[in-house]
């Protein structure tokens, strides 16, 4: 059974695994203990208020705090060693009581990890290693001095920036959803409550009728952040109106796009916000049970959301009669094992039910017949995080950011050939240029921008002339791409779009469930054409066939995976037709990526005859024709490029 | 008591029982929608995609599988519009390239005038329509076979590829299979399309929008000049 009732599953069961144990130790650095003891339940909304009052000193802005990023990116770069080192130094200096050390979720600027923030002042240190721990404590914590070499340098003017909020990467963002993550320990519910957590839930349960909650969400124009952008309020309304007393809330945490990690970061950085959103949604639609479907490839996120559920249950924020309102709600965590297609809602429902994760034809929509055939609301992690925000601020204030049709902000994962890769939050309506060149800091190594793929493998590839496009569900769809869950892969001039589309199709081919014919066969047949294109054996008719096939797959597939699988093909054909034509007509790959379509040759004029290329060539393709005169045998050459790197006089050319 | 809903099918106002699918309604009224994964008595599956029809008013219409879509009041359906026929023909071409030895698919190709195949033939034995799986489970109460793997590796097999203990060798799976029938005649291996049954006297129209000629093969729409047949004539 994939469904586990996590309340019955004691924590030590998780802990007997060595790696998990060290992971938990790392995440708990700083001495905040898990609330494993029984705590008294919050019986009324006022109890929550009193608890927040008690926790007030946690907000003290003068208190010295060291925040270490505990996200996967930073921890593989060394924050796993860094946090214990800092703790050790603090203990040595007798500062363990007065200086707070926190291991948080993702701080956003993954490019420069491991990151450390020192409060007060939000001093931002980048690429910090365990060796730097003593210096940071010694100088910054004790004497208030800045460690210059760990500061961020603005590439524009070479200036060193001390405060995190002054760094362009952060300054240009609107961090509302990610903001709290800087200040809370995700494993500690008290941290969340101290910062106003569960206030929205209390407000809703304290006399706000479910219809009013739905009206508020509708007014805020919150759209589903999972990809399709369906209005969330409308979805809730349909589900509330659907016949039947047994209703379910499903949280889609099966994030599978290559290069996307928004949902993971939210779950790891602020799991209680997700949970609060789920409970409010349940109250609004009248559900008694919720399921968080999370992929098991996110062990830290699983651990944290399980802990969040356990703590919320202890405080009576889950279970029977929540905050004395008479509303009962329970959450189950269901772990999925690696299938991209399970992010599609009908497939996700089947997987959560314990069946094979395959989509089914809609309608009926999950709002009418979903989990166990009952009315179900499925929303993405990020959508749920927006819910408490809307309730707290009010729909009108929330909608001040964003565009007319979609309110609020959206988190993007900016990755690829970009200077500042990381987690970026901007209001809807921000242009791609602002995101890529403002926040992202432009293209790596001063290369030219070529294209940006929005929405992951099923998204579209947008060229330079589309950079002023405002990021919004509607505008992106018109441009032939999708918002998707928010992946943003930036490509430079060295990328071949034909090869890129082929790569995404290959991903989709292996992730297609194979149930419906057009997706299964259509993608394979498109790949056959791409194989011809990249080897130079395609004809001009193949391009028309490819387009016809792509449109057919788009129009006739059963689920979102198939319907969007043609996007990389159609968008590259639309914006980069010249490049396709170069592959077909001239049998040439302009970016020099498709190996069958270019050759390496040695320019005899600049060659100094050192022979280092021949030494590097693993295929034995470079031979000395006469003394000091080398040449490459194209038959043997595998186009690996090792000779180019070995050449000291830049004599090897591609062409 | 049965509830009757009123809908428009190829320009005809018709009454159908609530709960019927578009496919059932269309077949009831004598309009044929091609299918490969549908069989009366088995649950609809929606995987062959051939039964696609266009619903909604022009401009806001979409393609849906008629075998799973239930009729609703005021629904407007076009079973043979330009959009539907274009996509259906491409699908048939893909089917032919996958499984050229099936008589059922060869006949479909002839009927829809699919005369060329632009893909390399695969000569598969199975189109994964799932009829056999559902036949075994739903009609024979056998559940001896099912799908294994996913995507391009997906296939029908017994659990763990072992000889099934529950299979009664009834042959129901073979009986319903659209792919394992042999060809009507044998065109060359490298020529995947047979077209022996191709009707050389082509119907006068390729597709129909709101009004449809119900003669099969169509003979007489040209005789009636007043009929608003909004479709393109074959050149």
Does the beta carbon of A627 lie under 8 angstroms from any beta carbon of chain B? no
More confident residue, B212 or A495: A495
Which residue pairs, CB below 8 angstroms and at least 24 apart, start in A296-300?
A: A296/A335, A296/A336, A296/A337, A296/A338, A297/A337, A297/A338, A298/A253, A298/A255, A298/A264, A298/A267, A298/A268, A299/A20, A299/A23, A300/A23, A300/A27, A300/A72, A300/A268
State the pLDDT at residue A24.
61
Q: Do B52 and A528 touch (CB under 8 A)?
A: no
Question: pLDDT, tens digit, for every residue of A400-423?
Answer: 999 888 889 999 999 999 999 999
More confident residue, A81 or B181: A81
A363 CB neighbours in chain B (<8 A) are 69-70
A343 and A274 fall within a common domain: yes
Q: Do B151 and A511 touch (CB under 8 A)?
A: yes
Q: Do B48 and A517 touch (CB under 8 A)?
A: yes
B235 has a pLDDT exceeding 60: no
Q: How far apart are the C-alpha atoms of B10 and B175, rounded to whole Å?
A: 33
State the pLDDT at residue B226.
44
Summarize the confidence of residues B19-28 as an average pLDDT. 94
Summarize the confidence of residues B203-213 as an average pLDDT. 71
A276 and A357 fall within a common domain: yes
- Distance (Å) from the C-alpha of residue A565 to the closest C-alpha of chain B? 13
More confident residue, B231 or A119: A119
Q: Does the residue A539 lie in any domain?
A: yes
Q: Do B154 and A522 touch (CB under 8 A)?
A: no
Least confident of A28-37, A173-182, A462-471, A500-509: A28-37
A240 and A348 fall within a common domain: yes
State the pLDDT at residue A187.
86
A450 and A470 fall within a common domain: yes
Total domain count for chain A? 5
Q: How far apart are the C-alpha atoms of A184 and A599, rounded to whole Å?
A: 55
Q: Under a CB-based contact definition with an 8 Å cutoff, are residues A305 and A275 in contact?
A: yes
A266 and A392 fall within a common domain: yes
A521 CB neighbours in chain B (<8 A) are 94, 98
Question: pLDDT, tens digit, for every residue of A132-145?
Answer: 999 999 899 888 88
Q: Does the residue A15 lie in any domain?
A: no
A and B: number of Cβ contacts within 8 A: 85
Question: pLDDT, tens digit, for every residue of A259-304?
Answer: 888 999 999 999 999 999 999 999 999 999 999 999 988 888 998 8
**How many residues does the structure list for chain B?**
235
Helical axes A567-575 vs A540-556, angle rounded to 10°: 140
State the pLDDT at residue B87.
96
Does the beta carbon of B154 lie under 8 angstroms from any beta carbon of chain A? yes
State the pLDDT at residue A157.
85
Q: Under a CB-based contact definition with an 8 Å cutoff, are residues A428 and A534 in contact?
A: no
State the pLDDT at residue B223.
46
Q: Which residue does chain B place closest to A364, by CA atoms? A: B69
A510 CB neighbours in chain B (<8 A) are 151-152
A503 and A471 fall within a common domain: no
A268 and A301 fall within a common domain: yes
**How many residues does the structure list for chain A?**
655
State the pLDDT at residue B185.
52
**CATH number of the domain where residue A628 is located:** 3.30.70.20
Q: What percent of chain B has pLDDT over 70?
A: 82
A101 and A230 fall within a common domain: no
B234: pLDDT confidence band, cut at 50, 70 and 90? Answer: very low
Exposed (0-12), middle (13-18) or buried (19+): which is A457, by Cβ within 10 Å? Answer: buried
Q: Do A517 and B91 touch (CB under 8 A)?
A: yes
State the pLDDT at residue A31.
43
| A 471-510 residues with CB < 8 A to B | 509-510
Q: Does the residue A463 lie in any domain?
A: yes
Give the SS3 label for residue A103: strand
A310 and A283 fall within a common domain: yes
Q: How far apart are the C-alpha atoms of A389 and A391, rounded to whole Å?
A: 6
A655 has a pLDDT exceeding 80: no
B207: pLDDT confidence band, cut at 50, 70 and 90? Answer: confident
State the pLDDT at residue B183.
60
B225 has a pLDDT exceeding 50: no
Q: Do A363 and B69 touch (CB under 8 A)?
A: yes
Question: pLDDT, tens digit, for every residue of A315-347?
Answer: 999 999 999 999 999 999 999 877 889 889 999
Q: Do A512 and B152 touch (CB under 8 A)?
A: yes
Q: How far apart are the C-alpha atoms of A20 and A306, rounded to whole Å?
A: 14
- Distance (Å) from the C-alpha of residue B196 to the closest C-alpha of chain A? 25
Q: How far apart are the C-alpha atoms of A117 and A124, rounded to whole Å?
A: 5
Q: What range does the domain containing A161 cover?
A: 31-35+59-171
State the pLDDT at residue A462.
93
Q: Under a CB-based contact definition with an 8 Å cutoff, are residues A459 and A471 in contact?
A: no
B45 has a pLDDT exceeding 80: yes
Q: Which residue has the tokens 């000193």?
A: A57
Q: Do A555 and B87 touch (CB under 8 A)?
A: yes
Does the beta carbon of B70 lie under 8 angstroms from any beta carbon of chain A? yes
A231 and A322 fall within a common domain: yes
* A556 HSE (CA, 13 A, CB side): 33
Does the beta carbon of B47 lie under 8 angstroms from any beta carbon of chain A? yes
Instruction: List Cα–Cα distances, B51 to A357, A437, B84, B151, in angstroms.
Output: 24, 47, 9, 22
Exposed (0-12), middle (13-18) or buried (19+): which is A357, by Cβ within 10 Å? Answer: buried
Neighbours of A7 (CB within 10 A): 17
Consecutive H or E run containing B26: helix B22-28
Q: Do A513 and B151 touch (CB under 8 A)?
A: yes
More confident residue, A40 or A176: A176
A221 alpha carbon, distance to own chain's centre:
22
Question: pLDDT, tens digit, for every residue of A105-123?
Answer: 889 898 888 999 998 888 9
Summarize the confidence of residues A13-39 as an average pLDDT. 52
A321 and A299 fall within a common domain: yes
Does the beta carbon of A513 lie under 8 angstroms from any beta carbon of chain B? yes
User: In this structure, which topology does domain B131-176 adopt according to CATH?
Assistant: Alpha-Beta Plaits (3.30.70)
Helical axes A18-27 vs A80-92, angle rounded to 10°: 50
């Amino acid at each position: 059974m994939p469904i586990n009732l996590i309340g019955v599953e004691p924590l030590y069961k998780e802990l007997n695994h060595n790696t998990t144990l060290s992971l938990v130790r790392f995440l708990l650095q700083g001495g905040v203990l898990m609330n494993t003891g029984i705590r008294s339940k919050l019986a009324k909304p006022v109890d929550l208020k009193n608890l927040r009052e008690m926790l007030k000193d946690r907000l003290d802005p003068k208190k010295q705090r060291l925040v270490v990023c505990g996200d996967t990116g930073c921890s593989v770069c060394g924050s796993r060693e860094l946090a214990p080192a800092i703790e050790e130094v603090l203990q040595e200096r007798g500062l363990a009581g007065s200086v707070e050390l926190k291991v948080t979720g993702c701080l956003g600027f993954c490019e420069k990890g491991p990151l450390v923030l020192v409060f007060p002042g939000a001093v931002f240190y980048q690429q910090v290693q365990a060796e730097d721990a003593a210096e940071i404590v010694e100088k910054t914590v004790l004497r208030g001095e800045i460690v210059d070499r760990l500061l961020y340098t603005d590439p524009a003017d070479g200036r060193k920036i001390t405060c995190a909020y002054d760094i362009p990467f952060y300054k240009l963002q609107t961090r509302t959803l990610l903001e709290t993550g800087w200040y809370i320990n995700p494993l500690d519910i008290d941290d969340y409550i101290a910062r106003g957590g569960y206030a929205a839930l209390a407000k809703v349960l304290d006399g706000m009728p479910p219809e009013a909650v739905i009206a508020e969400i509708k007014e805020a124009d919150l759209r589903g952040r999972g990809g399709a952008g369906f209005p969330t309020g409308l979805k809730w309304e349909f589900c509330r109106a659907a016949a039947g007393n047994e209703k379910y809330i499903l949280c889609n945490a099966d994030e599978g796009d290559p290069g996307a990690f928004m949902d993971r970061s939210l779950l790891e950085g602020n799991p209680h916000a997700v949970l609060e959103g789920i409970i409010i949604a349940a109250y609004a639609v009248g559900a008694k049970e919720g399921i968080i479907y999370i992929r098991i490839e996110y062990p830290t996120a699983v651990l944290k959301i399980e802990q969040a559920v356990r703590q919320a249950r202890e405080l009576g924020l889950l279970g029977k009669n929540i905050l004395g309102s008479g509303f009962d709600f329970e959450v189950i965590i269901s772990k999925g094992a690696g299938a991209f297609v399970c992010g599609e809602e009908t497939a996700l429902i089947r997987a959560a039910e314990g069946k094979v994760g395959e989509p089914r034809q809609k309608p009926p929509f999950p709002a009418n017949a979903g989990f166990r055939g009952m009315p179900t609301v499925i929303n993405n992690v990020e959508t749920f995080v927006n819910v408490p925000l809307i309730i707290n601020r009010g729909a009108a204030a929330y909608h001040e950011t964003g565009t007319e049709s979609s309110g609020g902000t959206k988190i993007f994962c900016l990755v690829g050939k970009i200077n500042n890769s990381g987690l970026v939050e901007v209001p809807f309506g921000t242009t791609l240029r602002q995101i890529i060149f403002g926040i992202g800091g432009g293209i790596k190594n001063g290369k030219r921008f070529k294209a940006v793929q929005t929405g992951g493998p099923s998204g579209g590839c947008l060229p330079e002339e589309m950079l002023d496009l405002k990021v919004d569900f509607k505008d992106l769809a018109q441009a032939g791409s999708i918002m998707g869950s928010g992946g943003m892969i930036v490509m430079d001039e060295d990328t071949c779009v034909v090869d890129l589309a082929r790569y995404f199709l290959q991903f989709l081919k292996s992730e297609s469930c194979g149930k419906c014919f057009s997706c299964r066969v259509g993608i394979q047949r498109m790949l056959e054409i791409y194989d011809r294109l990249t080897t130079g054996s395609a004809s001009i008719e193949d391009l028309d066939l490819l387009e016809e096939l792509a449109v057919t797959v788009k129009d006739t597939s059963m689920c979102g995976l198939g319907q969007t699988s043609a996007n990389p093909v159609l968008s590259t054909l639309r914006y980069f037709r010249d490049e396709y034509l170069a592959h077909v007509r001239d049998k040439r790959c302009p970016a020099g990526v498709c190996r069958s379509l270019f050759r390496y040759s040695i320019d005899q004029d600049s060659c100094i005859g050192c022979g280092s290329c021949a030494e590097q060539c693993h295929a034995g393709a470079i031979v000395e024709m006469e003394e000091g005169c080398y040449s490459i045998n194209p038959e043997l050459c595998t186009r690996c490029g090792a000779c180019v790197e070995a050449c000291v006089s830049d004599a090897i050319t591609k062409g | 008591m049965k509830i009757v809903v009123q809908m428009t099918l190829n320009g005809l106002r018709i009454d159908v029982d609530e709960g019927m699918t578009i496919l059932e309604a269309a077949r009831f009224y004598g309009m044929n929608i091609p299918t490969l994964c549908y069989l009366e008595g088995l649950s609809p599956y929606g995987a062959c995609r051939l039964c696609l029809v266009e619903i909604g008013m022009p401009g806001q219409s979409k393609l849906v599988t008629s075998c799973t879509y239930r009729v609703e009041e005021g629904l407007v359906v076009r079973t043979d519009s330009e959009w539907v026929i274009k996509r259906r023909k491409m699908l048939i071409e893909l089917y032919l390239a996958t499984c050229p030895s099936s008589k059922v698919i060869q006949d479909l190709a002839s009927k829809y005038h699919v005369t060329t195949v632009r893909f390399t033939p695969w000569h598969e034995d199975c189109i994964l329509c799932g009829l056999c799986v559902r036949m075994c489970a739903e009609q024979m109460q056998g559940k001896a076979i099912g799908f294994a793997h996913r995507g391009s590796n997906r296939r029908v097999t017994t659990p763990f590829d072992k000889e099934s203990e529950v299979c009664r060798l009834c042959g129901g799976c073979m009986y319903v299979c659209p792919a394992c029938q042999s060809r009507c005649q044998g065109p060359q291996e490298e020529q995947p399309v047979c077209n022996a049954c191709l009707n050389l006297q082509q119907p006068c129209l390729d597709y129909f929008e709101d009004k449809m000629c119900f003669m099969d093969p169509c003979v007489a729409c040209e005789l009636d000049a007043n009929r608003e047949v909004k479709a393109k004539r074959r050149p």
